[in-house]
Amino acid sequence: MTDPRLRKLADNLIRYSCAMKEGEKVLIEIFDCEEILAEEMLKAAYRAGVRPYFTIYNSKAEREWLLGADREQMEDRAKWERARMEQMDAYISFRGNHNTMESAGIPESQSKLYSSIFSREVQDVRLRKKWCVLRYPNEAMAQLSGMSTRDFEDFYFDVCTLDYEKMHRAMLPLKALMERTDRVRMVGPGTDLRFSIKGLPAIPCAGNCNIPDGEVFTAPVKDSVEGQISFNTPSLYQGFKFENLRLRFEGGKVVEATSNNTEKMNAILDTDEGARYVGEFAIGVNPYVAKPMCDILFDEKIAGSIHFTPGAAYEEAFNGNKSAVHWDLVWIQTPEMGGGEIYFDDTLIRKDGRFVLPELLALNPENLK
């Protein structure tokens, strides 16, 4: 018997997250997930009068392909993927991730080459469509989160089917405040960072692009970032688990980067010119995501967190920075993680992970559940 929560999630993705209209086309891509998920997504699309197209992928096979692929193969595949995506109105992707380290062992040069080609040919098209990317629960994800499989499934559906319309309404005062703000300062253990967000839009994310969702993002003025920031959340990127990450900025550019693998970290930041500039600043507010689980789609939404992103800026809040890299790095500011403060134009707006301005109190966790 199908879990009724799965049907609810599938309907929400089609009708709310992607707001699809009758007759529109959606591409559904499923990586390492149960067949029942594909079936429920197709049923939800047809119930809404939407025309679905789908592909099911296997990460082990993808790894083998990438290990041996040359530039011509990568470019051919990217062209075909782009041509297909151009015909769609929306894109929905599920990632099962049986092994989060599946891409380990792929030569760095190979990963960089494919990332740059795919970003140029395919990702740019997808981001101009309606889209939503999400994980799907399995034993590996439960293990990463420190939960039993059953408890993680319950957590997953709580996070993914919460009242996102309520969250969106609560985000609107923060959006308005960010769009009035010039100077941002963040301080905490190992961190004193300053930058401007003047003139850049703030985008509330409440179940429209990522599930789980729960952030308001913008981008810093490209050359405005000064100071240093220390991230207290591990980051799984290109098959390696980075920890104790620290960045120092001058004139908007990363001039010093250290971690548990400083050499590999700097190789990523040297991918292209834009990789050492920041494309996103976001504030996380999801009330059900309370601790890191080394999965960025969850970790960047942690209530009381921010993420700061070397690499490409999103089109919706474009600060001019382009890159094949988009590396979300998370700093949790709750008391248990060392605390931290955010100031907008010298006014304290959040302390130790909790909003303090009256118009923003609705974003504190107890008010979003």
Instruction: Tell me, yes or no, whether 171 and 156 share the same domain.
Output: no
- Tell whether the torsion through CA atoms of 128, 297, 137 and 144 is positive or negative: positive
Contact by Cβ (8 Å): 106, 69: no
Cβ neighbours of 300 (radius 10 Å): 28
Selection from 251, 275, 247, 250 nearest residue 191 by Cα: 247
Structure tokens at 261: 């693998």
112 and 139 fall within a common domain = yes
Q: Same domain, yes or no, for 150 and 170?
A: no
pLDDT attached to residue 1 = 56
Cβ within 8 Å of residue 199, ≥6 positions away: 221
Do both 21 and 125 map to the same domain? yes
| 321 lies in the same domain as 202 | yes
Task: Give the residue from 160, 180, 197 where a domain finishes.
Answer: 160
135 and 21 within one domain: yes
Taking the chain (369 residues) in runs of 10, the rounded mean pLDDT of each run is 86 94 97 91 97 93 91 94 96 84 81 85 88 88 86 89 93 98 98 98 91 95 98 92 97 98 96 97 96 90 98 96 96 98 98 98 96
The pLDDT score that the predictor gives to residue 102 is 76
What CA–CA distance (Å, rounded) separates 112 from 100?
A: 18
The verdict on 189 and 257 lying in the same domain is: yes
Boundary residue ending a domain (160, 189, 215): 160
Q: Is the dihedral of CA 265, 243, 283, 252 positive or negative?
A: negative
Residue 32 belongs to what domain range?
4-160
Residue closest to 55 by CA, chosen among 24, 22, 23, 88: 88
Chain Cα centroid distance, residue 160: 14
Q: Which of 160, 179, 197 is the last residue of a domain?
A: 160
Residue 212 preceded by cis peptide, ω within 30: yes
> 168 and 239 share a domain?
yes
CATH number where 41 lies: 3.40.1830.10
Same domain, 186 and 248: yes
Domain count, the chain: 2
Q: Which residue is it, tokens 């591990």?
A: 234
- The phi, psi pair for 210, rounded to 5°, reads -120, 145
pTM summary value: 0.80
Residues 79 and 112 in one domain: yes
Instruction: Note whether 84 and 211 are same-domain residues.
Output: no
Q: Cβ neighbours of residue 334 under 8 Å, at least 6 residues apart?
A: 304, 352, 353
My answer on whether 321 and 272 are in the same domain is yes
